[in-house]
Amino acid sequence: MVRALRKSFGHHLVLDGVDLDVPEGTVYALLGPNGSGKTTMVRILSTLLPADAGQVRVAGHDVADEPDQVRAAIGVTGQFSAVDQMLTGEENLVLMADLYHLGRAEGRRRAAALLDRFDLADAAKKPAAVYSGGMRRRLDLAMTLVGEPRLIFLDEPTAGLDPRSRRTMWEIIRELVGRGVTIFLTTQYLEEADQLAGRIAVLDHGKIVAAGTPDELKRLIPGGHHPSLDDVFFALTDEGRS
Amino acid sequence: MSSLSLALRDSATMLRRDLRHAQRFPMMTASGILVPVIFLLLFAGVFGRALSAGLGVRPGGYVDYLTPGILVMTAGFAAESTAVTVNTDFRLGIIDRFRTMPIARTSVLTGTVAGSVIRTMLSGVFVVAVALALGFRSAAGPAAWIAAAGMFAALAFALTWLTVALGLFAKTPAGANSLALLVAILPFVSSAFVPTGTMPAGVRWFAQNEPFTPVIGTLRGLLTGGVIGNSAVAAVAWCAGIALAGYLWARVLYDRGPAAAPAVAA
């Protein structure tokens, strides 16, 4: 839950009074063009950046007052690879297990299960530096899942991936939602939001310009018989005006 | 578990990560040893006789004077490589991941420092072995050697906290290297190579009052005999002060996060 969130860097106002409510157990997509403030939003929600103004509660805890309780509930996979490239895939997962204090046997068991589930078992003993983009992103998400978070932030989870890796990521995300995990996803791909999300908010120049289910958003366009989300996106953001 | 034991556990995990990095990429540690060893060879092997004569010690005796200074230099250059490693490591996404996890906040810093101190101690052992091969002879007993190792560890600990902060502060690995190099070359203007009494007045004042000189004085007193005097107290005070300042600075920089130094795009 986010109320009247503001953030600026110097004189540059990045988030200008954002309000959001993300229901538990759903996929919520924050859709917006490059530079609209999506990543800043995720960084604030995941306790990486302090907000300038407004109230932010994540998993029932205020991010400013109880960051550790928030951190215990969330997992984050950012758009920049958050794996340790010098360690192998398996070592990366065991590192996470150690930091979650899972114990040796349980940590190894969970690492092995995740390697299997993310189709990384063959590459388990190779350093992450030699992984392909898709493999690295899968390892990244697998590391996020070691702690079994209730809420997962995915900042542009498929940016830069080939279509096949993108499909694989979508399947994984759907499977997670099936297990009751809440997902907050940012994307600049309309199709991705349409495919995955139950609710979408469109962010442009630091403001939410529209929010609702994909169908509700499509109805916002007057006159169109079967508007796609692309039409909505272009109608609502600068992309369309320029 | 108490928060202290959790912090220790997370730091131990981070130390394992750091040691594994060092094992995968030994060049960083090796390059830290290379410079002091070259200086040891150069000063003992090339300038040794002239400097022995200048100091009025037996021919070849200069290596006894030199070795404590080279040890201090070893700690300096090891700390320099830490600054570069930290700068490279901390601009990677994995650090942001740690910052979003419910772990002891500074464990990644303490793990790095612990790993670096262990590497510096090993470098010190290597440098002493080279010095012994070059004719360094010590009359020190086991207690004095242990005290010298403790002094060396204290210096390594202090310099590492300082260079971890420098590594976090610098915007690029090259910048981190340059800043830490200033620390690593400070032993040149100290009693490491020649007694401060032989220097011109202004330089002498600096050399006598800079932190490396009492550390070298203490090591020299322990390893080759001679008066330690106030050096030990001054050395420990300098190390404690530098370690504390470096720790506090590093914490502030780490808490502030990449807001100060934006994370690079992958």
| ipTM exceeding the 0.90 mark | no
Averaged pLDDT for residues B98-124: 93
**pLDDT in the model for residue B258:** 58
CA torsion sign for A215, A217, A223, A224 is: negative
Judge whether A80 is closer than 8 Å to chain B, CB to CB. Answer: yes
Judge whether B3 is closer than 8 Å to chain A, CB to CB. Answer: no
- CB distance B71 to B219 below 8 Å: yes
**Mean pLDDT, chain B, as a whole number?**
89
Residue A118 in any domain: the answer is: no
DSSP A148: -
Judge whether B143 is closer than 8 Å to chain A, CB to CB. Answer: no
Alpha helix positions (H), B185-211: 201-209
Where residue A230 sits, what CATH number does that domain have?
A: 3.40.50.300
**pLDDT in the model for residue B5:** 87
Judge whether B263 is closer than 8 Å to chain A, CB to CB. Answer: yes
Residue A117 in any domain: the answer is: no
Total domains present in chain A: 1
B264 pLDDT tier (thresholds 50, 70, 90): very low
Closest Cα partner for A110 from A146, A75, A72?
A146
Over the stretch B38-77, which tens digit does the pLDDT of each residue have? Answer: 999 999 888 888 888 888 887 778 899 999 999 999 999 9
pTM of the model: 0.86
**Measured between alpha carbons, how far is B10 from B105 in angstroms, rounded to an integer?**
9
Contact across the interface for B13 and A95, Cβ inside 8 Å:
yes
List the single range of A7-11, A26-30, A116-120 with lowest mean pLDDT. Answer: A7-11
Instruction: Return the beta strands (E) in A26-150 as ranges.
Output: 27-31, 53-58, 61-62, 74-77
Site of tokens 């908010």: A201
Judge whether B28 is closer than 8 Å to chain A, CB to CB. Answer: no
**pLDDT in the model for residue B259:** 43
Q: Which two tokens stand for residue B92?
A: 């990677």
B238 pLDDT tier (thresholds 50, 70, 90): very high
Q: Which helix (H) or strand (E) holds A3?
A: strand A2-9
Closest Cα partner for B123 from B183, B48, B63, B70?
B70
Site of tokens 């992958």: B266
Over the stretch B22-32, which tens digit does the pLDDT of each residue have? Answer: 999 888 888 88
| Bridge pairing between strands A2-9 and A74-77 | unpaired
- CB distance A31 to A190 below 8 Å: yes
- CB distance B97 to A46 below 8 Å: no
A87 → closest Cβ in B9, B20, B99: B20
Residues of A in contact with B102 (CB under 8 A): 68, 71-72, 100, 147
List the single range of A12-16, A39-43, A175-179 with lowest mean pLDDT. Answer: A12-16
Over the stretch B6-46, which tens digit does the pLDDT of each residue have? Answer: 899 999 999 999 999 999 988 888 888 898 999 999 998 88
- CB distance B138 to B224 below 8 Å: yes
Contact across the interface for B266 and A81, Cβ inside 8 Å:
yes
Edge-to-edge strand ranges of the sheet holding A12-20: A12-20, A2-9, A53-58, A61-62
Asked whether the predicted pLDDT for residue A203 surpasses 60, the reply is yes
Radius of gyration over every alpha carbon of chain B, rounded to an integer in angstroms? 19
Instruction: Return the beta strands (E) in B9-149 as ranges.
Output: none
Contact across the interface for B96 and A71, Cβ inside 8 Å:
no
Q: Which two tokens stand for residue B19?
A: 């040691």
Contact across the interface for B102 and A48, Cβ inside 8 Å:
no
Residue A214 in any domain: the answer is: yes
Averaged pLDDT for residues B134-150: 91
Q: How many CB pairs (< 8 A) connect A and B?
A: 71
CA A64 to chain centre: 20
Count of residues for chain B? 266
Judge whether A101 is closer than 8 Å to chain B, CB to CB. Answer: yes
**pLDDT in the model for residue B214:** 92
- CB distance B77 to B184 below 8 Å: yes
Residues of A in contact with B265 (CB under 8 A): 80
Residues of A in contact with B93 (CB under 8 A): 78, 80-83
Averaged pLDDT for residues A17-30: 84
Start-to-end CA span in chain B (Å): 38
Judge whether A74 is closer than 8 Å to chain B, CB to CB. Answer: yes
**pLDDT in the model for residue A240:** 47
| Å between A81 CA and nearest CA of chain B | 6
Domain residues for A27? 2-83+149-236
Contact across the interface for B93 and A95, Cβ inside 8 Å:
no
- CB distance A144 to A157 below 8 Å: no
Phi, psi (degrees; rounded to nearest 5) at A59: 50, 40
Closest Cα partner for B24 from A130, A139, A119, A114?
A130
**Measured between alpha carbons, how far is B155 from A80 in angstroms, rounded to an integer?**
37
Please report the residues numbered 116 through 135 in chain A whose beta carbons come closer than 8 angstroms to any beta carbon of chain B.
127
**pLDDT in the model for residue B18:** 93
Residue A139 in any domain: the answer is: no
Asked whether the predicted pLDDT for residue A18 surpasses 80, the reply is no
Return the bridge partners of A153, or none.
A76, A184
**pLDDT in the model for residue B116:** 95
Over the stretch A68-96, which tens digit does the pLDDT of each residue have? Answer: 889 999 999 887 788 999 999 999 999 99
Q: Which two tokens stand for residue B258?
A: 């990449």
Q: What is the per-residue burial (b if ≥16 Cβ within 10 Å, else e) of B93-123?
A: bbbbbbbbbbbbbbbbbbbbbbbbbbbbbeb
Higher pLDDT, A21 or A224: A21
Judge whether B88 is closer than 8 Å to chain A, CB to CB. Answer: no
Closest Cα partner for A144 from A66, A195, A186, A81?
A81
Contact across the interface for A71 and B101, Cβ inside 8 Å:
yes
Phi, psi (degrees; rounded to nearest 5) at B118: -60, -45
